Amino acid sequence: MDPRQLARIARVRALQLTLAQADEARARDKADAEAALGRRIAALADAVAPAPTFASGVALGAEAHFRARLHQSAQAAAQRVATADRLAAGAAEATRIARQDQAAVDKLLARARSAALVREMRALEDLPATPGRTGARDRHGPC
């Protein structure tokens, strides 16, 4: 494979890995934010739980309406948390695949480097011996 083409593939795969890691970090942050919102809604719902007090019917109706709205918000938050977790898992899988691709490209690069070294070594071995100061051969065989 052409070294320039291999280097370009390596740069593209490195960029894809970086982007996948950034997407995964964003997905995890969003999942954490949604979970925190769900906890805040649950704490608020616990704070407005019915308590034995003497209140008017209008106040009781308003509290019931507020609790119902909190319950709807809690359900929506739970759905958002589930969606965010699913997206985070997908992003983690994309990152894993990008890491595998990057590892494959790194192996190709290492193989290309070792092949180039072998070619250079063979080229050096095939060079003719050059006479030294005394006219004798200074070249040693492979030791």
pLDDT for 54: 64
| Continuous H helices in the chain | 3-47, 57-125
**Run of H or E residues at 135:** none
pLDDT for 21: 95
Q: What residues of the chain score a pLDDT lower than 50?
A: none
Neighbours of 101 (CB within 10 A): 17
pLDDT for 13: 92
Read off the tokens for 132: 């030294």
Q: Which of 105, 95, 93 is nearest to 20 (CA)?
A: 95
Per CATH, which fold does 3-125 belong to? Helix Hairpins (1.10.287)
pLDDT for 80: 92
Q: For the whole model, what pTM was predicted?
A: 0.67
Domain ranges of the chain: 3-125
Distance (Å, rounded) from C-alpha 9 to C-alpha 15?
10
From residue 7, give the alpha-carbon distance in Å to each of 99, 102, 124. Answer: 17, 12, 26
49-89 pLDDT tens trace: 666 666 677 777 777 888 888 889 989 999 999 999 999 99
Do residues 17 and 99 lie in contact, with contact meaning Cβ atoms separated by under 8 Å?
yes
Q: Which of 127, 105, 109, 128 is nearest to 117 (CA)?
A: 109
pLDDT for 111: 93
Strand, helix or coil for residue 137:
strand
pLDDT for 103: 94
